[in-house]
């Protein structure tokens, strides 16, 4: 979705299409990372020494170094991009070298950033499922793929802000959200914004995508059609992808929706 385009009414179906497109990005990013062993050492605090005094993990070091460059080209001034570098990190991320873009004020001003939760989920739960255990010394390659996966997941989950704004603006539900927000009823907000039919359809589609995208398609087998029932090993377990969304991506997206709505009237 072009966030520079002046939005009047946020279209929920357009936003959902963006989330569908991000499914492909996330699956292919996981396929890339799963080439390498888990290489757990890159997630361990203090396992590496850095000349600049950085004391985090190898992965956190790469995140910091890359996000400094991305900050200079104003990546984090876009309302759909959020850094993993903590807001209180010293030194802070550098200021952009480019002038600010004039984004239309789509979202209510907020400081919601749950990337710390996303990073913990990713290293503690997802990597052990997606990658074979062990150490193949591909530390730089693994961390590079990790950063791409983390950025994809962060964008997808924080898109919950746009989804929540769209639902808040919907005349059919606006008054209910206002009442629940004023009552600080997080559970009621969570229930109102949940669409189980959309979630069920998403998980079915995700399993098919992960099965098909994970196949090696033999180029001389013209008759073969990649289907969800295709035989052969997948580069990423469809169960891992579905589990990721069911246990983490969808709940974290809804957490962002609730957090955003709770501060919507501030
Ligand atoms: C994103 C939405 O809000 C909720 C979260 C969903 C998700 O994270 O995939 C799907 C449906 C809703 O329960 C939506 O309504 O599309």
Residues 217, 224: contact at Cβ < 8 Å? Answer: yes
- At 55 the pLDDT is 86
250 lines ligand 1 (CB under 6 A): yes
Which of 145, 167, 209, 264 is labelled catalytic? 167
- At 156 the pLDDT is 98
119 lines ligand 1 (CB under 6 A): no
* Orientation angle between helical segments 12-33 and 139-158, nearest 10 degrees: 170
202 lines ligand 1 (CB under 6 A): yes
pTM of this prediction exceeds 0.90: yes
C-alpha 82 to ligand 1 mean position (Å)? 20
80 lines ligand 1 (CB under 6 A): no
81 lines ligand 1 (CB under 6 A): no
CA–chain centroid gap for 236, Å, is 18
User: Tens of pLDDT along 193-247?
Assistant: 999 999 999 999 999 999 999 887 776 655 555 544 454 556 889 999 999 999 9
- Where helices occur in the chain by DSSP H, the ranges are 12-33, 58-72, 115-121, 127-130, 139-158, 160-169, 174-182, 186-193, 196-213, 238-244, 250-262
- At 9 the pLDDT is 62
Which pairs with CB-CB distance under 8 Å and at least 24 residues apart come from 208-216? 209/23, 209/24, 209/27, 209/241, 210/27, 210/234, 210/236, 210/237, 210/238, 210/240, 210/241, 210/242, 211/238, 213/24, 213/27, 213/28, 213/31, 214/31, 214/238
Residue indicated by tokens 């004391």: 55
- At 148 the pLDDT is 98
| Annotated catalytic residue 39 | no
- At 145 the pLDDT is 98
Residues 105, 29: contact at Cβ < 8 Å? Answer: no
Fold entry, domain 12-216+234-263: Chorismate Mutase, subunit A (1.10.590)
Mean pLDDT throughout 21-42? 97
Which of 16, 37, 72, 235 is labelled catalytic? 16
- At 170 the pLDDT is 94
Q: How much of the chain, in percent, has pLDDT values that exceed 90?
A: 82
> Which residue's alpha carbon is at the smallest distance from atom 7 of ligand 1?
250
- Report CA-CA distances (Å) from 165 to 52, 133, 205, 242: 41, 41, 25, 26
148: number of Cβ within 10 Å: 17
User: Tens of pLDDT along 139-179?
Assistant: 999 999 999 999 999 999 999 999 999 999 999 999 999 99
Residues 165, 106: contact at Cβ < 8 Å? Answer: yes
Kindly give the number of the ligand 1 atom that is closest to the alpha carbon of 167. Answer: 15
Residue 26 has pLDDT above 50, yes or no: yes
The domains of the chain are located at: 12-216+234-263
> Which residue's alpha carbon is at the smallest distance from atom 15 of ligand 1?
195
Residues 22, 162: contact at Cβ < 8 Å? Answer: no
Kindly give the number of the ligand 1 atom that is closest to the alpha carbon of 251. Answer: 8
Residue 266 has pLDDT above 80, yes or no: yes
User: Tens of pLDDT along 114-137?
Assistant: 999 999 999 999 999 999 999 999
195 lines ligand 1 (CB under 6 A): yes
- At 228 the pLDDT is 46
- At 21 the pLDDT is 96
ipTM: 0.98
176 lines ligand 1 (CB under 6 A): no
CA–chain centroid gap for 191, Å, is 22
Mean pLDDT throughout 24-31? 97
pLDDT tier at 52 (50, 70, 90 boundaries)? confident
| Annotated catalytic residue 199 | yes
Output DSSP code: residue 247.
I
């Amino acid at each position: 979705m072009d966030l520079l385009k002046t939005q009047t009414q946020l279209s929920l179906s357009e936003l959902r299409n963006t989330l569908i497109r991000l499914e492909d990005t996330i699956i292919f990013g996981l396929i890339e990372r799963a080439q390498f062993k888990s290489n757990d050492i890159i997630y361990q605090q203090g396992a590496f020494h850095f000349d600049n005094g950085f004391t985090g993990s190898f992965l956190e070091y790469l995140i910091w170094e890359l996000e400094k460059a991305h900050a200079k080209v104003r990546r984090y001034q876009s309302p759909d991009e959020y850094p993993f570098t903590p807001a209180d990190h010293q030194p802070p991320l550098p200021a952009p070298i480019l002038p600010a873009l004039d984004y239309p004020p789509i979202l209510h001003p907020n400081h919601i950033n749950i990337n710390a939760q996303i990073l913990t989920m990713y290293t503690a739960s997802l990597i052990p499922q997606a990658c074979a255990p062990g150490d193949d010394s591909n530390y730089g390659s693994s961390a590079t793929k990790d950063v791409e996966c983390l950025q994809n997941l962060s964008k997808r989950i924080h898109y919950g802000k746009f989804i929540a704004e769209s639902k808040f603006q919907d005349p059919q539900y606006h008054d209910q959200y206002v009442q629940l927000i004023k009552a600080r009823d997080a559970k009621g907000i969570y229930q109102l914004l949940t669409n189980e039919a959309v979630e069920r359809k998403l998980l079915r589609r995700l399993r098919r995508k992960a099965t098909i995208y994970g196949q090696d398609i033999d180029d001389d087998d013209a008759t073969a059609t990649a289907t969800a029932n295709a035989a052969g090993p997948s580069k990423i377990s469809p169960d891992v992808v579905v589990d990721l969304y069911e246990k983490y991506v969808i709940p974290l997206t809804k957490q962002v929706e609730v957090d955003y709505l709770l501060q919507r009237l501030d």
